[in-house]
Amino acid sequence: MSGGGSVKELKSKAELDNVRQSGAPVILHFWASWCDASKHMDKVFSHLSIDFPHAHFFRVEAEEQPEVSEAYSVSAVPFFVFFKDGKTVDTLEGADPSSLANKVAKVTGFVNPGEPAAPASLGMAAGPTVLETVKEMFTDNGSSQDALNKRLQQLIDSHPIMLFMKGNPEEPKCGFSRQVIDILKDEKVKFGTFDILSDNEVREGLKKYSNWPTFPQLYCKGELLGGCDIAIAMHKSGELKDVFQEHGIDTGSGSGKSDISESTGLSATLSSRLKSLVNSSPVMLFMKGTPDEPKCGFSGKVVEILRQEKVDFGSFDILTDEEVRQGLKVYSNWSSYPQLYIKDELIGGSDIVLEMQKSGELKKVLTEKGIIVQKESLEDRLKNVITTSPVMLFMKGTPDSPRCGFSSKVVNALREEGVSFGSFDILSDEEVRQGLKVYSNWPTFPQLYYKGELIGGCDIVLELRNNGELKSTLSE
């Protein structure tokens, strides 16, 4: 029975045992009819079967073939099992076309282990969309995920109000999407939409990206508000209009400014109450809901940032007190929520806090005001470790007992050249291990530094040694 470049349905375990005994490469794709990712991967699988005609490609409906599924401990789909010379040599879980293409190429002997598969194998057999998908996969691991996340964020940010729905506003393809469209029309706001039925990558990606499993999904200024139920509840309570107005979105009703005229001023009693609330904690957040149950994405964002900065803060739920809610807008001349105060000074809302966190400004302010006592920063620590010795090697293990072949090769090269060097075992310190990858923009270990500058990893060190340049590079 020959592979013949097409995918067959596996009917039984006996059929699999039979094909395995031939010793030819065999690849199984466990799938389920309800799983979109399975369908997407099946296209890639079919194209690979044409590109690698000497292997056997089988589809297994996981729920219909429990005996086979259990034999290979299949607990999620899509799931792939690879056989060579009758033995299981590899498995792959999840929708990762690049890994699938690489593993197929490896098991069929198309590439040497350790070399990535080249997309050349995916000849004309692959249709353009799959070729695109599969090409992306041969870029750095994870870069296709980064590219998708970037694309999702761009889509989310493409309009101040953005709705990911089934169908389009003229023809919604589900009742929930239609209800949200009606609500937005009722609120008289401009909004953008994206039909998730037209793009499976966006559809699946957005569920993970926003950690929200269903559609429609409604976003305001880049933050997820929620799905249909939340939109309905917020619309009924008037909360949706408030959120739109607070983020400067024209709701077709007046200026969208605070509904207290500034000229009225505040009563002395209210002013002093607001002042003591603002001062009730060195870091004070006026928000919708509570830190554990924020009632809007913007408030949730600021809570998350404060927690990332490991700051103790007080909070006040402005939804519980209309007087404070309206009064504070006038008191601080800031018309929206959340509002963050540090030592009774207004810092701003979620956009400003996010900006400040990204730029490092927030940490600086918190430090200057004595809220957080600055420990040695990771960057300072890395600089200090890198310069503890003129020649410094970050490796797995120690020079006398390296814990990986690449580290061992670099140690030998340095010793052969008679170079004295310091070393650091990155397995002993996860903070240094992860921090150094970012600091030097170099994703792997070992890493060799000279006078604080990165020379490179194993390949570069060996190349310098072979060219007779290692010693001179490390003693310039």
12 and 130 assigned to the same domain = yes
131 and 159 assigned to the same domain = no
- Cis before residue 338, ω within 30 degrees of 0? yes
Q: What is the pLDDT of residue 287?
A: 93
Q: What is the pLDDT of residue 296?
A: 80
* Interatomic CA distance for residues 81 and 13, integer angstroms: 14
27 and 109 assigned to the same domain = yes
101 and 183 assigned to the same domain = no
Residue 418: both structure tokens together: 């008679």
- Of the candidates 137, 161, 177, which is a domain's last residue? 137
Q: Which amino acid is at 2?
A: S
16 exposure class (CB count in 10 Å sphere: 0-12, 13-18, 19+)? buried
Q: What is the pLDDT of residue 336?
A: 80
- Of the candidates 308, 341, 368, which is a domain's last residue? 368
Helix H, strand E, coil C: the string for 6-38 is: CEEECCCHHHHHHHHHCCCCEEEEEECCCCHHH
**374 lies in some domain:** no
**257 lies in some domain:** no
**179 lies in some domain:** yes
At 447, which CATH number? 3.40.30.10
* Interatomic CA distance for residues 308 and 316, integer angstroms: 20
Q: What is the pLDDT of residue 407?
A: 95
- Do the beta carbons of residue 125 and residue 131 sit within 8 Å? no
85 and 174 assigned to the same domain = no
57 forms beta bridges with: 7, 27
* Interatomic CA distance for residues 71 and 136, integer angstroms: 33
DSSP 386-399: HTSSSEEEEESB-S
**187 lies in some domain:** yes
389 exposure class (CB count in 10 Å sphere: 0-12, 13-18, 19+)? middle
45 and 82 assigned to the same domain = yes
Mean pLDDT split into 10-residue runs, the chain, 476 residues: 67 90 92 80 90 90 80 82 92 87 85 46 43 46 72 90 92 87 93 91 87 86 86 87 84 44 64 92 93 87 92 93 90 85 88 87 86 70 91 95 93 94 93 91 93 94 93 86
Q: What is the pLDDT of residue 396?
A: 94
Phi-psi region of 145 (alpha: psi -120 to 50; beta: other; left: phi over 0): alpha
**78 lies in some domain:** yes
What are the CA-CA distances from residue 125 to residues 43, 52, 56 (Å)?
11, 10, 17
Q: What is the pLDDT of residue 127?
A: 41
14 and 113 assigned to the same domain = yes
**445 lies in some domain:** yes
* Interatomic CA distance for residues 404 and 253, integer angstroms: 67
Distance of alpha carbon 302 from its chain centroid, rounded? 19
Work out how many domains the chain is built from and give that number. 4
Residue 433: both structure tokens together: 């291990």
- Do the beta carbons of residue 257 and residue 251 sit within 8 Å? no
26 and 116 assigned to the same domain = yes
Strand order across the 345-348 sheet: 314-317, 283-287, 339-342, 345-348
Q: From start to end of 202-282, where are the E strands? A: 217-220, 223-226
User: What's the DSSP call for residue 353?
Assistant: H
30 and 119 assigned to the same domain = yes
Q: What pTM was computed for the model?
A: 0.33
- 3-state class (DSSP) for residue 80: strand
Q: What is the pLDDT of residue 255?
A: 36
Domain that holds residue 442: 379-473
